[in-house]
Structure 1
Amino acid sequence: MGAGCMLSNDPRLFRQFVNDLVEWLRGKGRILIVAHDAPDPDALASACALQALILVRTGQEAVITYGGVIGRRENRVMVEELGIEAVPIHLLDLDLFDVVCMVDTQPGVGNNAWPPERPVHVVIDHHPLREGTARCHWVDVREEFGACATILYEYLVVKGVYISTRLATMLFYAIKTETQDLGREWVKADRDAYQELIPLCNNHILARIVHPKVPQDYFVSFHRAMAGARIYDKVLVFDLHNVANPDIVAEMADFLLRAEGVETVFGLAECNGGQVLSMRTDREDLSAGTILRDIVGELGHAGGHGRIAGGQIPLASADAANRRRLVTTLKRRLFAALEVSNRRGQRLLSPR
């Protein structure tokens, strides 16, 4: 049941959808909320908002879970400062849960650790609708929204759930980061939620999340990304090689998109036996998600939306030659997709 575009355009239909969903969840047994791997603020805040809705309106406690690690320093501080309780999925007995909800991700897309053969009952997301999602019982996918947290904020409002300072800070930070302070891919609903949540936030906690202390190896990654980055026409490519934290690839992509003359950034690194990919663009005529899915193709999984995308490719072996071949293939597909003519490129940092 449900269709994102119709729900966002018809307040009466949306209210009925949320009411029906809450009643369906009532008394259903143990509930699991699945966020995508290495969850970002949008996934974490969305999961916490759904958890709060379920607790307040049904009296049931839901468990939040995720795959991978919460690696980015800001995200870890967010979890610590706001007391977010999320359990790594490998620590759970999945057979104990009667209802499975997904937020900021969808079944079978490859960026969440939920086994694809197991059912998913509820999906709330803002990424492009995937084929497998249509088979779920409750679906609210709104591709036009800048943040999944905005959708969940509307759930809380329509059901009259009190938004605590803690929850408001989560939701605001999620919308802030996902839309880059309403500078990237936002709609009126994102702006309205952003403005309504600002006065409810704990600004001291928010400041500690936004400006955390970082370890020295963080700056090693910065140096490696910039030293090895090459620009091909208006496309910047960087390779971090081996990293312990997959989030660092996306963070470097965000940072390097600020380079003058660069419109698209493609970054990659090896992490935990796989290849992590990240793409960022400020071109409004491109869909980063579509392009990265085409580049990855049969090699792995990728997804995203207008200006942000990520992907993973399993490595058949740790052999360096195997990885070099993979990187060459990915760059060739990238250049073809973006019609890059300058295949030699130039260094971002020219030697003095």
Structure 2
Amino acid sequence: MIFRRAHHVYYYLDIIYNAGTNKFVISQEFTVNSFARQKILSLIDSLGGTGRVFVQTHDFPDPDALASAFALQKLFKARGLNSTICFEGFMERGALKEMCSHLGIEAFRSDEVSMVEKDRVVIVDGCKHNRNVTDLPGEEVAVIDHHEVERPEDVSYCDIRPNYGSTSTIIYDYYLSMDEIPDRNSATAMMIGLLTDTAHLSRGCCREDVEAFAGLWNLADMDYVRHCTSNNLSLEDLSFISDSIGKLKTHENFGFIYLENSCARNLLGIMGDFFLGMKELDFVVLASRHERGISLSARSELRKWNAASIVRTALQGRGSGGGHADMAGGFIPGEVSEDELFNSLKSALFSLNF
């Protein structure tokens, strides 16, 4: 069997040798979409039966997590499968709540759904065993993610594509494979998730992300997409922004900010993008103390500094981290001083080779 690509469609070809003609001939041809379709249908079939089906996002979800969960829920519904979106934590940003209200995304905190062991769980935009995905009582049967994570051996269906810019792009691929057209709200949600995670296709995206953008363009409410992706800040965020400007530390082209007051994780990322816009900075980390520990958000513009690897190295033995080459997150349970964290990150950046 060999593999070829033509007109943006991938094919598997079965090649056999004909001794009579002394030639190789194509015996069968399958599109990749047919393989993907069978795989998705098998997942849907496995979710049938007793117990409820939950689509779980990572804790404290962001737009891509909720968008991909919502679009997957709609795809399940088109195939006769009901599901409920759930998450641990809460929605930290008012803009995210407004997006859910506008698009009809119903997502529930884990303590609102009373999950039991016989329920089935599909994790999107996160992975089982990651610190930012709470282990809920149900059985995790699937993981759909675009982060750099280790494939869990105890999950039967794993679709992990770290080269993709968003999980929304993966779900859009599912619609293509199933010959389904997403409704307006699903398309709008996926477009918001895609543009948010890729910084309007400027960060960590691949050809499939661009094709998803083109495919969703005529289906989504682009006026609302522009509203959501350009109105990321509120007046109450100004105090955090002002505080972060005053607390910026630098070492060569590395910028670090440690906030004593609890700051929303999504806002940390937004501010990270802002500081990375400084011409003197190529790597930025913002840290914020919470009740449960310290959250980190990292941004990188240099290939030699893989954000996910840097964060994992700096937090080794005291916390966890992950993400992508250009953006990553981390968490430290308990207390770590500002200077200690700053020095750990400097060591990871300037003492090691990536």
TM-score between the two structures when normalised by the length of structure 1: 0.86
2:244 is the counterpart of 1:233: no
Superposed, 1:40-79 pairs within 5 Å as: 40-57=62-79, 59-79=80-100
Please state whether the residue corresponding to 2:199 is helix, strand or coil.
coil
> Mean alpha-carbon deviation: is it higher for 98-107 or for 27-36?
27-36
In structure 2, the residue matched to 1:110 is: 131
In the other structure, the counterpart of 1:33 is 55
Equivalent residue number for residue 331 of structure 1: 342
Which of residues 128, 138, 143 is equivalent to 2:148? 128
Determine the C-alpha separation between the residues in 1 that align with 2:207 and 2:194.
12
Deviation at 1:323? 4.3
Q: Deviations over 1:178-232 (max 9, x none)?
A: 1111111111111100111112111332233234485433100110111111221
Cα distance in structure 2, aligned partners of 1:303 and 1:157: 29
Contact 1:237 1:265 in 2 (8 A): yes
**Per-residue CA shift, 1:37-76, capped at 9, x if unaligned?**
111111111101111111111x221011111221134322
User: What do residues 139-176 of structure 1 show as CA deviations (whole Å, max 9, x unaligned)?
Assistant: 11111111111111111121122311111110011111
- Structure 1 residue matching 2:153: 3-state secondary structure: helix
1:313 aligned residue: 332
SS at the partner of 2:245?
Answer: helix
| Mapped partners of 1:287, 1:112: distance in 2 | 22
Change (3 A) 1:216 1:340: farther
Instruction: Find the residue that maps to 1:278 and give its secondary structure.
Output: strand
**1:196 aligned onto 2:196:** no
Give 3-state SS (helix, strand or coil) of 1:94's partner: coil
CA–CA separation in structure 2 for the residues paired with 1:194 and 1:232: 38
d(CA) in 1 for partners of 2:226, 2:36: 34
Which stretch of structure 1 is more off in the superposition, 262-271 or 122-131? 122-131
Give how far 1:244 is off: 4.9
1-structure distance, mates of 2:249, 2:203: 25
Q: How many corresponding residue pairs?
A: 323
Task: Give the corresponding residue for 2:303.
Answer: 284
Asked if 1:163 corresponds to 2:185, the answer is: no
Aligned partner of residue 295 in structure 2, secondary structure: strand
Q: Which runs of 5+ in 1 are unaligned?
A: 1-7, 316-321, 342-352
Q: Which amino acid aligns with 2:238?
A: F
The residue aligned with 2:112 is 91
Deviation sequence 1:292-346 (CA, Å, 0-9, x none)? 111111212211111111111121xxxxxx543xx322222211111179xxxxx
**What's the offset of the Cα at 1:11?**
3.7
Q: 1:255 to 1:219 in 2, by over 3 A?
A: same
Partner AA of 2:339 in structure 1: T
| CA radius of gyration, larger in | 2
In 2, the alpha carbon distance for the partners of 1:104 and 1:272 equals: 24
Q: Which runs of 5+ in 2 are unaligned?
A: 1-9, 12-31
CA distance in 1, matches of 2:174, 2:49: 19
SS in 2 for 1:275: strand
Output the amino acid matched with 2:148. Answer: P
Q: SS at 2:344's partner residue? A: helix
Give the aligned partner of residue 218 of structure 1: 237
Question: What's the counterpart of residue 204 of structure 2?
Answer: 185
Contact 1:243 1:269 in 2 (8 A): yes
Task: Answer 1 or 2: which has greater helix percent.
Answer: 1
Q: Which one-letter code corresponds to 2:306 in the other structure?
A: S
- Do residues 298 (structure 1) and 317 (structure 2) align? yes
- 2:61–2:87 Cα contact (<8 Å) kept: yes
Match of 2:165 in 1: 146
C-alpha contact (below 8 Å) 1:73/1:214 kept by paired residues: no
Superposition RMSD in Å: 2.1
Q: Which residue number in structure 2 is paired with residue 319 of structure 1?
A: none
SS at 1:223 equivalent:
helix
Q: Which has the higher contact order (CA 8 A, sep 6+)?
A: 1
Worse-superposed segment, 87-96 or 204-213:
204-213
Partner of 2:59, secondary structure, is coil
State percent identity of aligned pairs.
27
